Amino acid sequence: MLKKISGVILGVLCLTSTVVAGDMEKGREAAKRCIMCHGVNGESRIRTYPSLKGMDEQKFIAAIYAYRNGEKEGNLAGMMRSQALGLSEEEIKNMAAYFSSLK
């Protein structure tokens, strides 16, 4: 009985984690359009463009939404706003998983 219950709990946990966490492989695919500015593997070569590798997932998601909502100001933020507006929720989640995984 106990085994059965813990099995169910484990199953539910696995299910929710796949829904919540982004898909890294898809994130890598989607991130190709960011390479131009943020570099290969999220390692920027341009000083004013931040590197994205190893960025915390939640911070990444928060930053994208802040750009989308126009909460960040300045020319560079404007550049990022148009990028952020073109992303789906799914892509944002997947890229958050991908960039945070980079060392």
Residues in contact with ligand HEC by CB under 6 A are 33-34, 36-38, 48-50, 52, 60, 63-64, 72, 74, 76-77, 79-80, 83, 87, 95
Nearest approach, Cβ of 18 to ligand HEC (angstroms)?
22
The nearest distance, CB 80 to ligand HEC, in angstroms, is 4
What is the Cα–Cα distance from 36 to 42, expressed in whole angstroms?
10
Alpha carbons 100 and 81: distance in angstroms, whole number = 21
Length of the chain: 103
1 vs 74, which CB is nearer to ligand HEC? 74
What distance lies between CA 79 and its chain's CA centroid?
Answer: 18
4/47 with CB nearer ligand HEC: 47
Q: Please tell me what DSSP assigns to residue 46.
A: S
